[in-house]
Amino acid sequence: MPRSDKKTKKNQALASERAGTRVGELREAINYHSYRYHALDDPEIADAEYDALNNELIEIEAAHPDLVTPDSPTQRIGAPPSDQFAPVKHRTPMMSLDNCFSLEELKAWGQRAERLISKVDAYMTELKMDGIAVNLVYQDGVFTRGATRGDGRTGEDITANLKTINAVPLRLRGDDVPDVVEVRGEVYMRTDDFDNLNERLGNAGLKTFSNPRNAAAGSLRQKDPSVTAERKLSLVCHGVGYVKGRRFKSHSEALAFVRELGLRTNSENKVVNDLDDVFERCTHWQEHRHDVVYEIDGVVVKVDSIAQQEELGFTSKAPRWAIAYKFPPEERTTILNAIFASVGRSGVVTPFASLETVFVGGVNITTATLHNADEVARKDVRPKDTVVVRRAGDVIPEVVGPVLSKRPKGARRWKMPKNCPSCGAELVRNEGESATRCLNIYECPAQQRERVFHFASRGGMDIEGLGYKTIIMLLDKGWVTDVSDIYFLTPELFEGLEGWKSKSIDNLMKSIDESRTRPLASFLTALGIPHVGFSAAEVLAEEVGSLDKLESMTEEDFEAVEGIGPVIAQSLSS
């Protein structure tokens, strides 16, 4: 071998050795600073310095692919999009908790526990974060699998998406990490990140999320992990499922161990001595629930001692040693400016209250459903009334009723219009029904718009890029009058339109094309057939198997399918 070749190989080996050393240094530094930032909320360096370390690691690994390992910080994003989430069985079940809705119920739970074990040593109180429960598994310190809670025994594999969350360490900290660690936590979205996400979606003409929990759930179930990575999810750990070779004396000790491994727990967790302290914590957080940057809907109370937990045991559904105290819905008063009627995709006309903006349950409320004409009459709410507004279930805004002492003179009762506010057709209300309908199914603009939007939504054919603003534009131009027209759209139609670049056009065409392969259940749901939700659609898809067979079935055939009742059967056959 020529001397020059030997020298070249020697230099390459030396460069590779130096790269390997530097990669190790960079990973250690990045993991340390990520831990300081995400687990401790106590960063030591600026974001720009952290980004510089990360970029240097990316460059070295690109030049030396053999140095890339699964636990490298660069591997948070990179898994290919998934068509489905495989089922995963949890090593230990993820039990749900019983709920209580008053301090009296909480007291009764505590007294039952103390009757069984004489006296509870201490209670752990934790904020009940409104997120998505997940299970993380680490083997030899490396994050190997993450799954949703599912039914408590079997969840869905979302490992690739969880890897994109910076608060999920890809490698645990410490020199003596157990061989297997199973940790339970909650994935959530901060309220400021939620507001920013909805602003971006709205500006892009896409459907926004109704609350941070739905945003977190939708982001975790993205088929493309790069989309999840853009959503800024967070994680907090609240329990341990299994740790090989390790037993804990208390729940608080287990959480301290989790923190030592580099995982984040909630800094507001607190161990208290007795039920009076528990009540004080619940009352405090009920009054100060908006003092934190994430949504909470209660306080979880647990017997802290593991020995006492084991003594108390479980019911068939939940542990006896824990309970979730749920906050009552928040109520505020505001002015009802007007009542207007809105037409849905099935032609049902629903009255809505247009409200003076009011902050309830962590969000600004400007409209609330009044359900139907009978409800408006029963509650006797009138335009210009001062009304009580509640965020029912902390999700759906609801008008509870009027403050009669503040009713202005001359306030007149509201009546359902006789004609459709969208197309002008005469409205119909069948005897025995509470719903008022527009029967101009195919020509009513509001029904057309809502049908197309439902068809393209995440709950239907999941056509990314076909949001509300785009659908309105397509209807206005006459390019789409029914859902089938979506599949005749061409790139040329969008060229030259304001806000449409070649990339966004290509992405929309790709998403439309991909929707052709959606499961039959998704297609049936997307059609918006009255009374046919996703559960009924799944039953039909599994039983029938094909659209051709479905189209040939009679009402009697549908009713013969287990799980399909006469109402759904009639709806499918009409």
Mind telling me the catalytic residues?
128
Q: Give one DSSP letter per residue of 403-443, joined into a string.
A: -GGGPPTTPPPP---SB-TTT-PBEE--TT---EEE--TTT
The residue with tokens 């039920």 is 275
Beta bridge partners of 353: 339, 368
Query: How far, in Å, CA of 255 to CA of 261, rounded?
Result: 10
CA-based torsion, 96, 102, 104, 110: positive or negative: positive
Give the type of residue at 281. R
The residue with tokens 């039909």 is 540
Half-sphere exposure of 357 (CA within 13 A, CB side): 3
The answer for 528, left when phi > 0, alpha when psi is -120 to 50, beta otherwise, is left
Max CA separation in the chain (angstroms): 104
Query: How far, in Å, CA of 518 to CA of 373, rounded?
Result: 38
Look at residues 199, 218, 230, 224 and name the one whose alpha carbon lies nearest to residue 507: 224
The answer for 530, left when phi > 0, alpha when psi is -120 to 50, beta otherwise, is beta
Query: How far, in Å, CA of 133 to CA of 149, rounded?
Result: 6
The residue with tokens 């527009």 is 438
Look at residues 112, 465, 141, 450 and name the one whose alpha carbon lies nearest to residue 312: 112
Query: How far, in Å, CA of 12 to CA of 66, rounded?
Result: 13
